[in-house]
Amino acid sequence: MSSRALRRAQRELEEKKQLDQLAQEKAEDDAEQEDEDEDEEEEEKPSPVAKSKMSMFAMLGDADDGNGSDDGEEDMEPVADASESESKEEPVPVPQPSKKSKKKKKKAKGKAKVEEARQSPTQSRELDEIDQALLALKVTSDGKSGSGAEELSATISEEKQHLYAALSIDKEHLHAANEMKKLFGRAAVHGVDDDEPRARQRRGGPPGGIAAAIAGRNVPGNRNLASLGLRRNIFIQGKEEWPRATSGGLGMEVVEKRSDGTVEYRFVHSTAYQSVQQQFETCVASMDPERMIQLLHFNPYHISTLLQVSEIAKQQRDNATAGELLERALFALGRAVHSTFAHNLSQGRARLDFRRPENREFWLAVWRYIGTLGVRATWRTAFEWAKLILSMSPEDDPYCMRLLVDQLALRGREPKALVDIVESDHLQRAWKIPPNLAYSVALAHDRLKQPQEARKALRLAIKEYPWIASRLCKELDISPIPKSVWGKMPHGVHQELLCELYVPHTKDLWNTTEGSTLLVEVCYSFEEGLGAGDEPYWLAEINELDMARHVILSDDRSLMNLLDPRIKSKFTSTSDPLPPTDNIKSYSTTIGLQATNIAIANQAQLHAELERLRRYFQTVDLGAVDIEDDLTEEDLLRALERAETSMEEFQRNEQRLQQIRPRLQELGFPGFVQGGAGDAGGADGARGGESDMESE
């Protein structure tokens, strides 16, 4: 036979043997199945625990065993105990022990699975016990920390606790987008965000494109790490189109943890940030807006530069850009805050020292942002920011936020928060009750549906400040004005300033049916005559520098006229308006010395030029020329000819004198020129200039 036929015959023989073996195994399996059924009937039923869900590890073991077994269906059948089955087994032929051993293995395997199934609930109970133990430890730890917090709260007076509750900050209300969603819906807010990049492209801004998409910008819904960093800011949610850069070295550190529970922080500048601050001072001294904008291009998150360029944009009536730069400044400040600042801020216990220049940037940015929020009519957000800046230094209140917070609270529909602030004993001891708070808290009670409290508060306010009620009746066109407040006028500039700060800005809040009715009713309820209100007990003295800072930042020209000229003369910088007298400098910059040296050099150069002009006009001796009546052009030409000079040189020197005249006046020199060049007036100016310089 050929090799091919031999292989075929061998293969057929092997297949026949396999078929015979499979038939024999099937017969044995059937016999074993009958024995197992009989054993199962004699055994007790398995407990419910055995039927519970097996652990993941047991299921994984079953899967592995099933892959290696010959019959997978047998593995899934319930198996009796091996010891009982052995006792009931009968003698079998020789080839059967191997099968019985196989059966024992299967039974042992099934028993192991049942044991695992029975042990899995026990393991879960053990895990539960461990979890319970850990939970007990956690509760104990929390109990210890809680007792510590209770001990700390016990040491803090009830007065301070009420203050902290009144000044606590809800971080959700710091984001204007949340209020916009509440007012106009989520779709409207997203529509504005989507249209903003297109509007920027129309204005000539940087386009989005593929490169911006790769960088993670202008991609709606992008959730990379940079986007999460933009959204998890305590103050402002960043925008995708903003520059991807660091804060440049701006940070925050803890200064002191006080015994009353408050924590004082301060913003800090690194060496690199101080260098940029020096460049900023140089740009301010140059008075070149383009140079300032260029500095912002290379340092997109420098706070002082952002605030200054925002003012430049505001002067150019680009309010959208001005507001966005303020938001970017607050975003940079939010990235720099300490890890514990947000928690203490939410509890009303975070403090900043206004005397530090780095902290004053935060005050200024928040104040201007409140103005932007007012333009957008997001009053609830504006009130939360006002409360935030008030909580930074409530006793001192360097921006006099107590003169503004009541208006924002009423417009933001937060009368209860206003009542809490006014009724704080700690703030009453520091501020007493200024006229705006005394009157506004009556409106707050009225909105809270507390008519008795509203009438009581307004009655006390009218007793203390009758001139406010008189002015309100006049502004609301109430005729006739109640006799009790008729003719009452503020006494002195300070009371007039307080009246102008309150009545014109809140008359629309009183100009409602409820407000005007409450005012008239209480005014007519007085049977006895009221005093002039010249020395109200509730009116505490307000620092004149703080009041002037509030008025200057309000940017109201009519109020500026009520300020003392001595205080107004100290206002020299919009980047740091009216710094306190006890200013604390964290670091000294060489730019100050450089600016001083430059000023001295410029002054010396100015004196040298002044001396040159004096000698020139002395040579043009107009007194030596015979002048009959007025100086004519011929007389001037004769004088110039005698001095061996020309009309062109005379006009050039006179123009130079006109150019340096403002600087000379700043330095205390008198005026030199009264007329133009090249006419009789110019000759008179030359004569005047000569006499003045001789006197010098």
pLDDT in tens, 315-354: 888 999 999 999 999 999 999 999 999 999 999 999 999 9
pLDDT band of residue 604 (cuts 50, 70, 90) is low
Q: Given this model, what pLDDT does residue 504 score?
A: 94
pLDDT band of residue 501 (cuts 50, 70, 90) is very high
Q: Which of 112, 130, 148 finishes a domain?
A: 130
How far apart CA 275 and CA 295 sit, in angstroms, is 12
Q: Which residues contact 592 (CB under 8 A, 6 or more apart)?
A: 281
Residue in 85, 119, 577 with CA at minimum distance from that of residue 368: 577
Write the pLDDT tens digit of every residue in 448-480.
Answer: 999 999 999 999 999 999 999 999 999 999 989
How far apart CA 78 and CA 107 sit, in angstroms, is 9
pLDDT band of residue 129 (cuts 50, 70, 90) is low
Of the two residues 214 and 423, the one the predictor is more confident about is: 423
Structural domain for 682, as ranges: 590-695
Q: Which of 81, 101, 130 finishes a domain?
A: 130
- Residue 298, in any domain of the structure: no
**pLDDT(170) > 80:** yes
- Residue 489, in any domain of the structure: no
- Residue 679, in any domain of the structure: yes
- Residue 596, in any domain of the structure: yes
Q: Given this model, what pLDDT does residue 182 score?
A: 86
Asked if 653 and 686 count as a contact pair (C-beta separation under 8 A), the reply is no
Q: List the structure tokens of 648.
A: 């062109």
- Residue 652, in any domain of the structure: yes
Residue in 548, 541, 540, 539 with CA at minimum distance from that of residue 581: 548
C-alpha distances (whole Å) from 363 to each of 21, 177, 234, 618 are 93, 22, 16, 55
Alpha helices (H) along 486-583? 492-510, 513-524, 544-554, 557-560, 565-568
What angle, 0 to 180 degrees and rounded to 10, lies between the N-to-C axes of helices 319-336 and 303-315? 170
Residues paired with residue 432 on neighbouring β-strands, in sequence order: 539
Of the two residues 555 and 359, the one the predictor is more confident about is: 359
- Compute the residue count for the chain: 696
On average, the pLDDT of the chain sits at 76
How far apart CA 214 and CA 5 sit, in angstroms, is 70
**pLDDT(524) > 80:** yes
Q: Which of 290-299, 436-445, 523-532 has the highest mean pLDDT?
A: 436-445
- Residue 682, in any domain of the structure: yes
Q: Which of 130, 160, 189 finishes a domain?
A: 130
How far apart CA 567 and CA 141 sit, in angstroms, is 56
Number of domains, the chain: 2
3-state helix, strand, coil in the chain (%, to 5): 65, 5, 30
Q: Which helix (H) or strand (E) holds 266?
A: strand 263-269
- Residue 104, in any domain of the structure: yes
Write the pLDDT tens digit of every residue in 67-117.
Answer: 444 443 334 443 344 344 444 444 444 444 444 444 444 444 454 444 444
- Residue 366, in any domain of the structure: no
pLDDT band of residue 38 (cuts 50, 70, 90) is low
User: Phi-psi region for residue 348, left (φ > 0), alpha (ψ -120 to 50) or beta?
Assistant: left
- Whole-structure pTM value: 0.63
Q: List the structure tokens of 54.
A: 């097996």
Q: Given this model, what pLDDT does residue 130 score?
A: 56
Q: Given this model, what pLDDT does residue 613 score?
A: 80
Q: Given this model, what pLDDT does residue 310 score?
A: 94
